[in-house]
Structure 1
Amino acid sequence: MTRFAGILAAAILLMGCQQGDASAQLSETQREEVRDIVRDYILENPEIIEEALIELQRRARAREMQAAYDAVEAQSEAIYNDPRDPRLGPDGADIVIVEFMDYKCSYCRVANDWVEDVREEHGDRIQFIIKEYPILGEDSLEASRAAIAALQQGTDIYEAFHNAMVSSSGPLPSERINQLARVSGVDVERMREAMESPAIMEHISQVRSLGQVLGVTGTPFFIVDGTIVSGANELALDQALQRALAE
């Protein structure tokens, strides 16, 4: 892209133009000559098309990322201060990590190993906020409703149930959800009754809306002390965490 711009500028200069008003001074014949120079250069160096496309993609990604960070700043209250969200770790922790997750997402299963390792190593310094973000069908939605209902029975019970479901491979039909809830210490009957509350669906709907505003198109999606990490990218997660710990 830089080489092409240089060739174009040189071609215009060859036509005797002054910077700033080149197009006004070019005759139709001169414009044809410039086009011929540029065309010949592209034909001789077709790789510049690929370079231009790569640069356009880089700029588009940069704009998307900036938009995402702007959205995180604008939505900070909903991201960090919704009292309905499950929280794992101490209040007032040095570092807050937010995770948008889906119980049927295999990448969330991978990322949960990282979450558990971080909690074991830095548990006193870090709090995780879990954003129940079911986007993979009705099983996902039912699992999230069950998890939020189980939270009413205590954070420890929620955590055990959450880990059991996110670690479980395969489908999550009602029977499987009940089984995982039972072994996690959840009162299943009480959970099922609480799941019918419209407030739970309202909560999930608002998290979904928040995710759409932030551009969360897949799970997991992390915000590590303000740094966005999309996917189960353990290297990027570790780097963001180490920067946060150092600060």
Structure 2
Amino acid sequence: MSEPHPAVTSEQQATDENTSQKPARTQAAADEPLFTPEQEARIGEIAQAWLLKHPELLVEVDQKLQKIQYDEQMKAMTTAAIKHQDEMLNDKTVPAIGPENAKVAVIEFFDYQCSVCARQAPVIQSLMKANPQVRFIFREWPIFGYRWKPSFQAAETGLRIWQQRGGDAYMKYHNALFASGHIEGALTQKDVTQAASAASAGKLKNNDMLDTLSRTDILAKNTGFQGTPGIVVMPLSGATADTVTIFPGGAMESMLQDAINKASVQAGH
């Protein structure tokens, strides 16, 4: 057998060495920054100047982010409402107006001192007239009670009227109290007494309403509401993400009607 030519052996050795060294050099290059600190600073200056010339892009990005956050919030609140469906719909100590065999319910969490709730009240009244087949559930949630005592007094009186005098008397009281226009600290015990008188409630037993108010407070927070009004539109049974609509704040009558229609159709009404 002949010996390998020295030139071939030397060339092959060099090729092998180059091949074995390539990965090391490639990894080292990958670890190096793409830009120098000076280049990065310049790129930042250019980007800043461009954004200042096109601020509409920042507005668009902010709006997109807000929509993503809102959609995530609505998804979480809808999931929570479905999880707590039984508590939301079947508390007999809470005012509920409308047929017991209704397919759809509108649940409102409210405080009589809340200015947005006061504006929402006539909207709810109109919605009730247009939808006698829907059950309306009123969750007394006196979130301003820590600041203004009449919030608690008004809520407790409303619950007592419901439990002792029924739905008609409760609605007269409810609407009369909002019609007073006394909100944001202006509501008084006298307003509460006059509204009860307008509802012909008579003398009420001084039943403790703390348990009911506490359940509503826990339910509202578990659902994700951070203030009043908070409105949920959902079927009375078999609620799904497609049949539940959440309004964390006031809503126009048309929006509420659309939510009722969606829940009614999808609930097989």
Which TM-score bucket, shorter chain as reference? 0.7 to 0.9
Q: Which amino acid aligns with 1:166?
A: F
Q: 1:231 aligns with which of 243, 249, 252?
A: 249
| Equivalent residue letter for 2:33 | E
More deviation, 25-34/58-67: 25-34
Of residues 143, 156, 159 in structure 2, which corresponds to 1:148? Answer: 159
CA distance in 2, matches of 1:119, 1:29: 65
C-alpha contact (below 8 Å) 2:177/2:191 kept by paired residues: no
List aligned pairs for 1:24-173, cutoff 5 A: 25=30, 27-30=32-35, 32=37, 33=39, 36-37=42-43, 39-46=45-52, 47=55, 48-123=57-132, 125-136=133-144, 137-151=148-162, 152-170=164-182, 171-173=186-188
In 2, are the aligned partners of 1:102 and 1:132 still within 8 Å (CA)? yes
The 8 Å contact of residues 89 and 127 in structure 1, kept in 2 or not, is answered as yes
**Residue-by-residue CA offset, 1:11-56 (whole Å, 9 max, x unaligned):** xxxxxxxxxxxxx825225365567446523422343444433333
Compare the two structures and name the one with the higher helix fraction.
1
- Number of the residue aligned with 1:177: 192
> Larger C-alpha radius of gyration, 1 or 2?
2
TM-score under structure 1 length normalisation: 0.78
CA offsets, 1:154-178, max 9 Å, x none?
2221222122112221133222211
Partners of 2:92 and 2:36 lie apart in 1 by: 65
Q: How many angstroms apart in 2 are the aligned matches of 1:49 and 1:42?
A: 11
Shift in alpha-carbon separation, 1:50–1:26, aligned structure 2, 3 A: farther
- Counterpart-to-counterpart distance in 2, 1:36 and 1:59: 32
Aligned to 1:6: none
**C-alpha displacement of 1:115:** 1.8
How many Å apart are 1:69 and its aligned residue? 1.4
**In 2 relative to 1, CA 118–51 (structure 1 residues): closer, same or farther, beyond 3 Å?**
closer
Contact 1:229–1:236, Cα closer than 8 Å, also in 2: no
Q: Partner amino acid for 1:176?
A: D
Q: Matched residue of 2:35: which SS?
A: helix
Residue pair 2:100, 2:135 contacting (<8 A) in 1 also: yes
Other structure's SS at 1:83 match = coil
Q: Provide the C-alpha distance between the structure 2 equivalents of 1:96 and 1:31, rounded to a whole number of angstroms.
A: 63
Partner of 2:238: none
Aligned mates of 1:38, 1:55 — CA distance in 2: 23
Out of 111-120 and 177-186, give the one that drifted further: 111-120
Structure 2, unmatched stretches of 5+, are 1-28, 235-243
AA aligned opposite 2:152: L
**Which amino acid is the alignment partner of residue 171 of structure 2?**
E
Which deviates further from its counterpart, 125-134 or 27-36? 27-36
Residues matched between the structures, number: 218
Considering Cα pairs closer than 8 Å and 6+ residues apart, tell me whether 1 or 2 has the greater RCO.
2
What is the CA–CA distance in structure 2 between the aligned matches of 1:93 and 1:74, rounded to whole Å? 20
Normalising by the residue count of structure 2, what TM-score does the alignment of the two structures yield?
0.72
Provide the alpha-carbon RMSD of the alignment.
2.4
Please state if 1:243 is matched with 2:255. Answer: no
Q: 1:62 to 1:216 in 2, by over 3 A?
A: same
Which residue pairs with 2:224 in the alignment?
Answer: 215
